[in-house]
Amino acid sequence: CRGVARALRPVCRPVCRLKARTAAVRPVLAAQYAGLPRGHTTARLFGAARPAAASVRSPAFGQQVRSPNPIRPKPGCSISVAIGAYKRGSTVVVCATLAGVEGATDIKSLMLDRPIAGEKGLVVGQLENGLRYVILPNKLPPQRFEAHLEIHAGSVDEKEDEQGVAHLVEHVTFLGSKRRENLLGTGARANAYTDFHHTVFHVHAPVINGATGGPMLPQVLEALEEIAFHPEFLPTRIEKERKAVMAEAQMMNTIEYRVDCQLLQYLHEENNLGYRFPIGKMDQVKTWPHETLRTFWNKWYFPGNATLYVVGDLDRDSEATRQLIIKTFGKLPAAREALPAPAANGNGHGNGAAAEAPAPLKQRHDVRPPVVHKHGHGPLAPGERPAEVKMFRHPLLQHFMLTLFCKLPIQPMSRMAHLRQLLMIRIMLSVFQFRINGRYMDANPSFLGIELDISDSGREGCAVSTLTITSVPSKWREATAVGIQEVRRLQRHGLTQGEFERYRHAILRDSAQMAEQANKIPSVDTLNFVMESLACGHTVMGHKDAHDAMVEVAHTITLEEINALARSMLSFASDYSREGELLEDAAAHPDLYAYLGPTRTTSIVVCLPAYVDASGDSISGGAPSGRNTALLGAAGHLDADQIDLAQLEEENKAREEFEVPEGAIKFDLTPEEIGEALADTSLEVEATTDVELPSELLPDEEVEALQARMQPRFVPLGGEGAAGPANPPPDAFSGITQRRLSNGIRINYRHTDNESKACLLRVIANGGRASEKLGAAPDGFGAVVVGTRTMSEAGTVGKWQREQVEAFCVANLINCALEADEENIILDFHFATGEEGLKRVFQLTHLFLTQPRWDELAMERAKQAFLTSTKSIQKSLERATAERIITSMLGSTERRFRDPTQEEVEALTLEGMRGAVMSLFHTHNLEVNIVGDFDENELESVLLKYLGTVPPPPPTLVAPILHYPSVFLNPPMETRHSTWHLQDSDERACAYIAGQAPCRWGPFGTNEPLGPHPDGDKFVPPPLIVPASAPADEKQRLTALRRRHPLYASCTLMLLTEIINSRLFTTVRDSLGLTYDVSFEVTMFDRVRTAWFSVHVTSHPDKIYEALNASVQVLREIGSPPGINRRELNRAKTTLLTRHESDLKDNVYWLGLMTHSQNDQVPHKTVLCLRDLKAVWEAATVEDIYDCYNNFNFSDENIFTCVGTSGKTAPPVPERILSPMAASLESDEDEWGLPPPGTGPNGQPLPNPMALFTAMMAAAQAMKLQGAVKQVKEGQQQQQQEGSQQQQQQ
């Protein structure tokens, strides 16, 4: 105690006398330590130990208890008290810790057992009727919110004869809601989807109704309430959505989706998740009576089985939002179970008392989804054998893909120990991927990809560990060996100390960035995170709280603990077929394994091509690697008839029916061979050696020498000697700052707080395919794009090895992507700005521009990637159809818009590609764009230091980039309108419509190279309103002023695109039910002076030609009276303006706005013109849209079409691909007995010309055109009568 007093004396003297203070401390300490666990007492601390007391009787239970034992010193230690004191004002805080005793409190254990802190702003509650609600304020995007209503019922809840009913009910309830329709035109977007475990209706809306000015939240909640709990189930709506679901199934029936279904089916073959796919079975969907839908809805759509999520920048606080939820949903009655019919008594009457008893309330399942899993841990069941290898062969598969699964129970994230384990798993996975990247670069790799993942899945109700190995078929054994070797290396030898520390530091830095961005995450992402967390049973944490907790647990992790976790979690892949041996080893050495002990594989799936060529390589197209669960929700799905296990087995047997391609050999790989490769004991591994991490890539002394020699500085934007300041101020409207370095590099930068302490950097060089020579040569066609891929594959600069550069990027949170397109070479960085982040990324950029590594092995990998892509085109229905229409439209000699051929790729050499690429990476051809959270003075300093010291090339070495126009061909009609067929087991179809379009920049009607804008920088924002009373010449002047603006062409093209897409959806998808997916887009460029439009539509082969003709007719009808109306235009404006306002919170969007704003080859794009982007959209008139539309030509002689179908046999092709009906609507009355389009019998405008087309299309399918005309005329007469009655009533 005297020691305590001496320690406290400097702090306590000003407050009180020492003796009094010490006397006060003593009883407090005594009281604290009197209750220590393990029978300790405080007697020894303050004097002699108490004599042992006799046993006493507990008054509560009357049992004998022993008195506490005196404290004992730890062996080799002496008992001590550690004192800490802090004075603030008149308050003294004292902390005393007893140390050196046996059984002392384990502070680490106490911390890890502590519950994690939940998100403070999250409000979770439940109404009296059982409906749950979740409210969370979120500031991004501003003035907008998300409202999602989750019904806890999905495809896994369907009976055997209900497969697909959950999805169809979702369609009918959502699209049949009138209140949902009322959301159109308000700036809100609504949609719905069905998954295994739930159905979700979601609305993304502004806070204020754009049409009425009223609050949107009440309107949105009322719409969701009607959608879920007051559907009408009209027969017409049910039939329409039945047709839509079947079209959706056809759209998603791709080889990629079939692979995902195979993986999921074998992963969950013991429960309904493997057999109840959300799209359902089409033979059932076709035949259900309407009552089946209502029965399913009545069973599952009740308040107690629903959760409402409201997240966003709300116009009221959480309590007011809660009250609004109560007002809207609280009036719904609680649902009760149906009681069985009462049993009759002896008099033939039921029991009256029992009949009066209320039925129990309906409850949601405690466990979602309601399935039982077979987990891959714990003791083996009697007779349990290693997981069997399942095979899926298909002629359209290109690669060998092996996937090992291990299902484990989800560990709810509720305590600090759980967060600590998550951090260890993240470190372990990061190290594994780093090592795989190293194996990929060692030599010509045997694998295309090896991925390890461990993640929770709320939709599946389990955690899944996955190892996926992908390779070309001929190298499957070598690729499998690499994957198993690296898993074994990590499982047996663990991480190195350097790997552990490096990745722990990187993950903590990443966590710190996320914490800084707590208010910068979009509401939809936040809501999805909350929904998934609650589905998994996790505590929803705020990003700042999560980071603080992560930091707290990070430093308690030891290398031994993380290696024990790796030994447990990875044994499912490292020790296949040795499951029993590992369990025995864990029992003998429990300290070497983590909490679950050894894990084991629960399923193995191999997807492989049915045929290969003589060399063992695939002859088919490709499918993605791994389990892509995003494809499986019912927003577009496969016909479940094709994913039934028995049917798939029959399909595998039916492969013999396929016409075997010439020279193809059946790929006869057996499950036994795969099992042997996985269990190969000869694949011994040694511990890895650590990589030396460079602290910097470019020494300061080297940079200082460059600065002394080159004297970098900023010069006027026009170049050295031009007028104007060298440091102009930021643009007042956009905030963009522009600079030009003395070596010629142009700089655009803008500070934003969209992503705290993070930046995007883009280095862009004019060139791309447009700069390539034609023909096969060492530096011929493909030299730029394949050369750029070669640089990316090499992945290193200067004297450093790739592993060192990768480790440098990991430690500094730098992500880099390099690619080339038709116009440019683009180098993008995303990086953290803290801890000298700007300096680090610009060191890397400097070396990339001056000392990139060109490597022969990297070239071979790049070539192989392009050859694989080229070979896969003809086995992809969509890609091959698009390739055919480009060829018929532009010819085979126009190569800028397609990949190089095999001959061209093989002719390229490393030196040829190096010369082609590096000739574009000269300082006069570079523009650098930076956007993010940075210090502007620091940025300008590193720009001078690292970019200003990039040497400019001698003038004689700078070759001009040649420009040549694209020529649209005029081929014969059979080439212009073509078809083709892909042999496959499943029937699908897609069609493209394409043709020439106006360019993005410059006046309509010209494709010539552009010079400076005629108005220079003197153009003014267009007036938003042109008074109707203005004189004609004034209107003409204002119209000309608006159309001279540099953004006029781009903005009107975007508005026209929105209008056409809306009409395509309404007519082809919704009214006619010919497709589930149809879209119009214009492909535009900044430097290449060409553009084209395309319509992509998918359907069943029996309907694809009808869908094609309907889409063509929509394009043509826009030019017919009454044409586009103001409401359509205003809706398109609202969509684009809303999207623009939202995207301004995204740094990627700002990067796109800034790119080329100092590019001499894009002279009309300047920072000044960006000022008027909103004004040009808002000022656009219907006449402007037609000015744009008139630059398209949608006639048979000017458009190109290509229809691609797949199946065992090609469907019949109509005599004319474009039916005469399209021409009929453009002909006069003599031929068809119909008036000109848009007019009635007396030449008066029709009230709705789309009704005529819709009726004619429906009648044409039954060859009853006269009935169609009669139907429309009767409708007109009825409308006229109703109109007259309304006028009389008024």
- Could you list the active site residues? 170, 241
- How far apart are the two ends of the chain, measured CA to CA in Å? 98
If DSSP states are collapsed to H, E and C, what string results for 453-472? EEEEECCCCEEEEEEEEEEC
Listed residue (192, 446, 140) closest to 301, CA to CA: 192
- Which residues neighbour 796 within 8 Å (Cβ) at sequence distance 6 or greater? 802, 804, 805, 853
Angle at 990 between CA 988 and CA 993, to 5 degrees: 170
Backbone angles phi, psi at 961, to 5 degrees: -90, 120
Query: CA-to-CA distance for 1195 and 431, rounded, in angstroms?
Result: 58
Half-sphere exposure of 398 (CA within 13 A, CB side): 19
Query: CA-to-CA distance for 784 and 150, rounded, in angstroms?
Result: 49
Query: CA-to-CA distance for 163 and 296, rounded, in angstroms?
Result: 11
Query: CA-to-CA distance for 306 and 243, rounded, in angstroms?
Result: 28
Tokens found for residue 793: 């594959």
Angle between helices 476-493 and 671-678 (to 10 degrees): 30
**DSSP letter assigned to residue 892:** T
Contact 1184, 1052 (CB under 8 A): yes
The secondary structure element, H or E, covering residue 1110 is helix 1104-1117
Query: CA-to-CA distance for 231 and 297, rounded, in angstroms?
Result: 9
DSSP string, 462-522: EEEEEEEEEE-GGGHHHHHHHHHHHHHHHHHH---HHHHHHHHHHHHHHHHHHHHTTT-S-
Query: CA-to-CA distance for 438 and 443, rounded, in angstroms?
Result: 10
With H, G, I as helix, E, B as strand and everything else as coil, classify residue 305.
helix
The secondary structure element, H or E, covering residue 321 is helix 318-329
Q: Where are the alpha helices (DSSP H) in 14-74?
A: 18-33, 43-46
Partner residues linked to 406 by β-bridges: 465
With H, G, I as helix, E, B as strand and everything else as coil, classify residue 354.
helix
Contact 459, 629 (CB under 8 A): yes
Contact 194, 278 (CB under 8 A): yes
Contact 309, 526 (CB under 8 A): no
- Torsion angle of the four alpha carbons 263, 267, 270, 276, in this order, in degrees rounded to the nearest 10: -40
Give the chain's radius of gyration (CA, Å): 35
Burial 76-94 (b: 16+ CB within 10 A, else e): eeeeeeebebeeeeeebeb
Contact 165, 293 (CB under 8 A): yes
DSSP string, 1112-1174: HHHHHHTTSTT---HHHHHHHHHHHHHHHHHHTT-HHHHHHHHTTTT-TTSTT--HHHHTTHH
The secondary structure element, H or E, covering residue 181 is helix 178-181
Contact 1045, 1177 (CB under 8 A): no
Query: CA-to-CA distance for 25 and 5, rounded, in angstroms?
Result: 9
Contact 215, 328 (CB under 8 A): no
